[in-house]
């Protein structure tokens, strides 16, 4: 059995900040106070005070341009938080049958305070999955090999691709996105084809059906271009 991780004796607020910084950073954005205020739905002064506390605790460093970076201990803590969330999401969808959006919301409330022992048993019962339901790699797991991922918006008319993952940042900022993609069958592992593109939307084929998505949704979908396989 895999060693059980110790529980983190940190407040829910601290966990929310560390998780947000992790997600923003892993999508290639630079975490800054304004972006975090937007993400967490709190005021700029509140973010400033909270970041100062995280810096004091050695979890983040704040640069002269106010950009935020996780320290080694902060990165370890954030990875543990994200790992819990993604494993619980997988359990809620695969075992309990919740849809993507509901599982994401429920995982937010279930994971804080969950014991490492319970999480370990859930993970073991699932066969230690590599990714969350949306295709994002669970921290500490080896990501699928040999894949060059690009955003769907980078493809041309006629291109074929395989859906790999959905942006965590996009799903947070547009909760309806998970409902939309789940409903239209645009999920990891599904092949999609670009029929045509315009400023108003993208026409795709997915699971043998024609579907349309707006440009913002297309940007949130990361795919493996089949021509590279």
Domain stops at, among 50, 74, 98: 74
Instruction: Give the DSSP per-residue string, the chain.
Output: -PPPPPPP---HHHHHHHHHHHHHHHTTPPP-HHHHHHHHT--HHHHHHHHHHHHHTTSEEE-TT--EEE-HHHHHHHHHHHHHHHHHHHHHHHTT---HHHHHHHHHHHHTT--HHHHHHHHHHTT--SB-TTSPBPTTSPPPSS--EEEGGG--TT-EEEEEEE-HHHHHH-THHHHHHHHTT--TT-EEEEEEE-SS-EEEEETTEEEEE-HHHHHHEEEEEGGG-
Residue 182 confidence (pLDDT): 79
Q: Is residue 169 part of a domain?
A: yes
From first to last of its 229 residues, the chain has per-residue pLDDT tens of 444 444 445 788 999 999 999 999 988 889 999 999 988 889 999 999 999 999 999 999 999 999 999 999 999 999 999 999 999 999 999 999 998 888 888 998 898 778 899 999 999 999 999 999 989 999 999 877 756 788 998 999 999 999 999 988 766 666 677 777 877 888 899 999 999 998 888 899 987 788 888 888 888 899 998 764 4
- Per the structure, the count of domains in the chain is 2
Q: Is residue 193 part of a domain?
A: yes
The mean pLDDT of the chain is 87
How far is the C-alpha of 84 from the C-alpha of 110, rounded, in Å?
9
> 135: number of CA atoms within 13 Å, CB side?
23
Residue 180 confidence (pLDDT): 78
Domain stops at, among 34, 56, 74: 74
Q: Is residue 106 part of a domain?
A: no
Domain extent for 50: 12-74
Give me the phi and psi of 127, to 5 degrees please.
80, 25
Residue 65 sits in a domain whose CATH number is 1.10.10.10
Q: Is residue 103 part of a domain?
A: no
pLDDT, tens digit (0-9, with 9 covering 90-100), for 167-207: 887 666 666 777 778 778 888 999 999 999 988 888 999 87
As a whole number of Å, the CA-based R_g of the chain is: 18
Q: Is residue 98 part of a domain?
A: no
Residue 218 sits in a domain whose CATH number is 2.30.30.90
How far is the C-alpha of 226 from the C-alpha of 229, rounded, in Å?
5
Q: Is residue 136 part of a domain?
A: no
How far is the C-alpha of 22 from the C-alpha of 39, rounded, in Å?
12
């Amino acid at each position: 059995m895999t060693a059980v991780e110790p529980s983190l004796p940190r407040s829910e607020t601290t966990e929310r900040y560390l998780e947000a910084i992790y997600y923003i950073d892993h999508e290639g954005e630079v975490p800054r106070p304004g972006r975090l205020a937007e993400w967490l739905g709190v005021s700029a002064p509140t973010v400033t005070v909270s970041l100062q506390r995280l810096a004091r605790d050695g979890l983040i460093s704040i640069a002269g341009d106010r950009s935020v970076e996780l320290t080694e201990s902060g990165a370890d803590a954030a990875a543990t938080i994200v790992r819990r969330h993604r494993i619980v999401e997988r359990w809620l969808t695969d075992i309990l049958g919740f849809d993507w959006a509901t599982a994401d919301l429920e995982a937010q409330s279930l994971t804080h305070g969950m014991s490492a022992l319970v999480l370990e048993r859930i993970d073991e019962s699932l066969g230690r999955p590599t990714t969350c339901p949306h295709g994002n790699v669970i921290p500490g797991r080896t990501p699928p090999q040999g894949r060059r991922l690009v955003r769907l918006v980078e493809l041309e008319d006629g291109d074929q691709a395989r859906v790999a993952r959905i942006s965590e940042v996009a799903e947070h900022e547009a909760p309806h996105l998970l409902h939309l993609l789940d409903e239209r069958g645009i999920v990891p592992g599904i092949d999609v084809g670009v029929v045509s593109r315009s400023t108003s939307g993208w026409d795709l084929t997915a699971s043998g059906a024609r579907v349309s998505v707006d440009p913002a949704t297309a940007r949130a979908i990361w795919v493996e271009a089949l021509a590279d396989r």
